[in-house]
Structure 1
Amino acid sequence: MQGVWRELAGLMLPVDCAGCGRPRTELCVECRRALARDGRGARRVRPRPRPAGLPRVWAGAPYADEVRAVLLAHKERGALRLAGPLGAVLAGAVRGLRAVGGPLLLVPVPSARRSVAGRGHDPVRRIALAAAGELRRAGTGARVLAVLRQRRAVADQAGLSARQRLANVAGALEVPGGARRLLAGQPVVLVDDLVTTGATLAEAARAVAAADGRVIGAAVVAAPSTAFENEVHRPAGRGKEFPVESS
């Protein structure tokens, strides 16, 4: 119910732009254009040190400026209508994986139940649904399958080192038995709003693989700029630069 009240309040009360603070608009034209521009520049990211089992990860934008502000407004302040532009950025990261074949399953990394209850919504699932819609409109089959669950509580990751984060989430996720048949042999893209050390995505990949899902990569809205690959190449027939794939 909290999410419903927030949406109603957003319709009736004056709001400021989540990106720059401009009054009386939830996302101004300039910030919306900035997000759209970032969403067209998806690149591969590599957290260092790279945790074992981490699939290849693509991010839609650096975690800075308008992107950071909009992500926080959606996640922590319940600006639910921002899921649309954030989903477009996430869709760009999914396209970066260059997945081929049939429809994709977007499997969101789950938030803790207490976090969902406190926020009144599940931000990653909401962004994933928006991304799937964006992909379908562009002709790419995609649907969201929220089958990952936390099997035990984990500590807040903020302030933990990369090694501590790995220990914190190890074995914390699972796919319940009844949902396993939905994943068997299917191409899965793990999705999240942000990647830092990659520990949570590596754990999500382990849990999906244990349920016989085929993880082909992970896509996130944003990542720290230090994690982006620097080396780029220009594919034939396209003007935008993309990072070189390497093993």
Structure 2
Amino acid sequence: MNAVLRLITPTAFAMLAAGCASLNPPPPVDVLPTTLPPVATLPRPAGPVTGGLFHTASYRPAFEDQRARLVGDLVTIKILEKIDAKQNSTSNVNRTSDVSGGITALPLVSSSLLGKLPGKTTIGAGYGNTFEGKGDTLSKNEFDSNITALVTEVLPNGHLVIAGEKQVGVNRSVDVLRFSGIVDPRRLQPGSIIDSQYVANVRVISRGLGEQAEAQAMGWLARAFNTITPF
């Protein structure tokens, strides 16, 4: 009896712990406090002290629109991504074969006797094969949002590496939007605004965390059955 209890007790505790765990693991979203990340600054070149008002590392022309050009500047991105993909495929295959033959001679049978046989002394065979296949694929994705990102690095050619994150929490659900890419500062509009179509190496991630996201996820038992089912 004691041996049975020793076997049942750990099993019961394991099942209880599994029941207390979340059925759906949260998506890989870091819900961090809304504090600014550390900003890496470029070292200022040590130039001669001339008594001037302008410095090489922080020089900004006085008579131009303010645009991002240095690490720590802000860039506003208008995210408008539309991806429409459509593919049609049609295949038709037809093949027909006919074979026919006749008996003109038989061993030990004279030709005169063979001519008196019924007219059904021909052999024929026919073969036909038809295949028709059609396929349609349609994919449509749209993403529309705005986000302000931070310049994290200035490349040697002057292009700006930007990265930004937006977290919106309502009740017990959190929506996280992350954006990163490389911007040509010549494409920036007044106010450091740019459309996402002019950003290179775009990475856009939109994920949710909370009860609403868990309600849309498949349970662990259903996922297990989908893994092993042969149908």
Q: Is TM > 0.5 for Structure 1 vs Structure 2?
A: no
Work out which of the two has the higher radius of gyration on C-alpha atoms and give 1 or 2: 2
TM range (shorter): under 0.3
Answer 1 or 2: which has greater strand percent: 2
TM-score of the superposed pair, with normalisation by structure 1: 0.22
TM-score of the superposed pair, with normalisation by structure 2: 0.23
